[in-house]
Amino acid sequence: MPDQKNNYDTRERILDVAERLFMENGYEGTSMRVVTSAAEVNLAAVNYHFGSKEALLCAVFRRRLGWLNGERLRALDVLEEQAGETSPKPSQILEAFFGTLLRMGEDQSLGGMTFLRLLGRTLTEPAGFIRTFFASEYAEVIARYKQALFRALPDVPKAEIVWRLHFMLGAMSYAIAGTDVLQVVTGCELGDLAGESSDVDADDDSALARRLSQRLMPFLLGGLRAPLSLTTPSLTASPASASDGDLQPEI
């Protein structure tokens, strides 16, 4: 059995390199030989310290998700204590959940954008063991935030809230994972999207994370606040959709 001595150096170097390479090439697309040679350790080091390639991926995530979801729970505790008998506002709940994650992207010691991108990409990875792992890692924090949103929006059907939580998670994950995938689709460079932002250096991950957060949070709030569709939106092409009348001209 390992887990005792001065293996910290090798272990952490493997985790850092694996985090980056899994992000760049995917799990199946990253071989142990590439990981170990990039980390400048022996090929057998991963199996010695982690047991297997699957366990390595889980270790990469556990290192970050432990902190993240702990922080999320703590933030929600603070909000609910501040609110007393009442409930925190939906915007505060979203800020606690998504803002905590986006702030990780600004902190290099927490993995920075590398980890955020890896997380976004891995959530769609079909491998079974990954889904099982995420399900257990996320179970508590999702349950807590779902309940908080139910309380904060008592007049909205719970099913609708879950759907929109689902959509918000998707928008965030893609916004992060797709900074170089969908940017190709949208045909824009990062610099073109800076707008009137104060940070101008587009290569800085931290600045990117700040700009992303600045744009994403209003979008998520807008989606969460969208009026309920009481009728089925037109599936035939001809008439305009149901909630058309209240389209605000400013956006």
Residue ranges that bind DNA, judged by CB under 7 A: 1-7, 9-10, 30-34, 41-49, 52-54
Helix (H, G, I), strand (E, B) or coil at 10: helix
Residues 6+ apart with CB under 8 A from 213: 98, 99, 102, 103, 105
Nearest-approach distance from CB 215 to DNA, in angstroms: 36
Q: Select 34 or 190, whichever has its Cβ closest to DNA.
A: 34
- The 3 state secondary structure assigned to 171-185 is HHHHHHHCCCCHHHH
Q: Considering the complex, state which of residue 7 and residue 91 has its C-beta at the smaller distance from DNA.
A: 7
Considering CB distances under 5 to 8 angstroms, the limit depending on partner class, which of a copy of itself, DNA, none binds residue 2? DNA
Hey, which residues between 159 and 198 contact a copy of itself (CB under 8 A)?
A: 159-160, 162-175, 177-178, 180-188, 192-196, 198
Q: Is 224 in the site for a copy of itself (CB under 8 A)?
A: yes
Return the axis-axis angle of helices 112-122 and 205-225, rounded to nearest 10°: 40
Extract long-range pairs of 223-232: CB within 8 Å, 24+ residues apart.
223/164, 223/167, 223/168, 223/171, 224/90, 224/94, 224/164, 224/168, 225/90, 226/164, 228/156, 228/157, 228/160
Contact status, residue 148 vs residue 162, Cβ threshold 8 Å: no
Smallest separation, CB 126 to DNA (Å): 14
Q: Measured from the CB atom, is 4 or 248 closer to DNA?
A: 4
Q: By CB under 8 A, name the one of 13, 62, 63, 103 that touches a copy of itself.
A: 103
* Residue 58 touches which of DNA, a copy of itself, none (Cβ within 5-8 Å per kind): none
Structure tokens of 67?
């902190």
Residue closer to a copy of itself (CB basis): 48 or 89:
89
Instruction: Find the binding residues for a copy of itself in span 108-147 (CB under 8 A).
Output: 120-121, 123-127, 131, 134-135, 138-139, 142-143, 146
